[in-house]
Structure 1
Amino acid sequence: MEVEHLNPTVLAFKEFINAHPSLIKEVRKSGKSWQEYYEKWVLLGEDDPHWEQYKEEPTKENEKKSDEKNFELMSQLMKLTENFDINKVQGQVQQLSNTISTIQEVISQYQQSKKPSEQTKDPFNWFHD
């Protein structure tokens, strides 16, 4: 069904939902149908105080919490990188590389031994049918 053919109240309800993102989360979390919320919206109207709990506006508090989380994450990453011994990591990478090379050689040798050897042509069977 195209948007053009929807009832105007349904379109208005869609706009209302977009203005109340917490309502979308609530419906997904509770498993209730949109029909229930639509009926409430029709009865109460969109200006009813009931809908205020679903209105989510970005506040400075949320932004501040986000910045604090980012700072905390960066400080944890810095602490982790301070404890890295580059020479040790490089040695482990080299050891892993050597192990992979050895495994490749073993697989290569196994594949060569698995191939059937070419039969040598017997000159005495040239005239045999």
Structure 2
Amino acid sequence: MSHIRLPKELEDFKQFVQNRPELVQRVRNKEYTWQQLYNIWTDEGHHSSFWDQFEQSLEEDKSTSAFPVKSDQIQGIVKKLADLDVDQVDKNLRQLSKALDQIQHLSHQFQQQKRRPPHRGNRFPF
């Protein structure tokens, strides 16, 4: 499978975004769309005053980040774990277990039918 190369302008925007993790968070929070940010980047350039609000967070991230995992990723995981309904997970696991038991039972029945020799009775009993 060949690797698809993005146009240079898109590669540059991608690198620009990777250096500003708050942009990803803002898109996830539906404050902006990628298209809106890309249009600002292409129309006004990367030196636009619009990007100044993200520069501060970039500096803060560099100074406080000792691990390669971003804090927004950790917060997302913690939030998902906090929202997790353990009773619902247990119920789903029990249902899955029952379904797997049924499939195993059916599979066992089909294997037994294959092992039985075919009935070779006389087609014309009279």
**TM-score, normalised via structure 2 length:** 0.42
Larger radius of gyration: 1
